[in-house]
Structure 1
Amino acid sequence: MGGLGAPEIILIIVAILIMFGGKKIPELMKGLGRGVKEFKDAQNGETNTANTTTTTTTEDKTKV
């Protein structure tokens, strides 16, 4: 008594899918994973020393 059974878990999953849609769920899980990782790192006293950089390239398009 008081635990979650299969019908309750299925109902929760369906409600989440209706609220957020199928395309948004992977993004939410990715963010949640990052948050959990940062939390664990903070608990262990570790700092993130990796620099995250993004590079963009532009192509020089000239008319011939």
Structure 2
Amino acid sequence: MGMPSGFELFAIVAVVVLLFGGKKIPEMMKGLGKGIKDFKGAIKEDEPTTMATNDKKIEDEKVEETKSSTTDTTTKV
């Protein structure tokens, strides 16, 4: 089963227009576009926080490694 051919696409569009009417389709598409835009905006808002948190964890791990290596050398001496 591949992509629909020209006639099949025409039939699908005709059925959608008959079911929803020409006036309702642009409203649905506007709502869909707004939903996608809001979703992308929410993802972009969340990314810097996540990346900053990951960077902070990496810094904390490096500090802990430095502390533990410093502690190990003083105990051995």
* TM-score (normalizing by structure 2): 0.52
Count how many residue pairs are aligned between Structure 1 and Structure 2.
Answer: 46
| Aligned amino acid, residue 16 of structure 2 | I
What is residue 43 of structure 2 aligned with on the other side? 43
**Offset of residue 21 of structure 1:** 0.5
Bigger helix share: 2
Say which SS state the counterpart of residue 37 (structure 2) adopts.
Answer: helix
Gaps of 5+ in 1: 47-64
Structure 2 segments unaligned to the other structure (5+ residues): 47-77
CA RMSD of superposed structures (Å): 1.6
Q: What is the deviation of 1:4?
A: 2.0
Larger radius of gyration: 2
Say which SS state the counterpart of residue 32 (structure 2) adopts.
Answer: helix
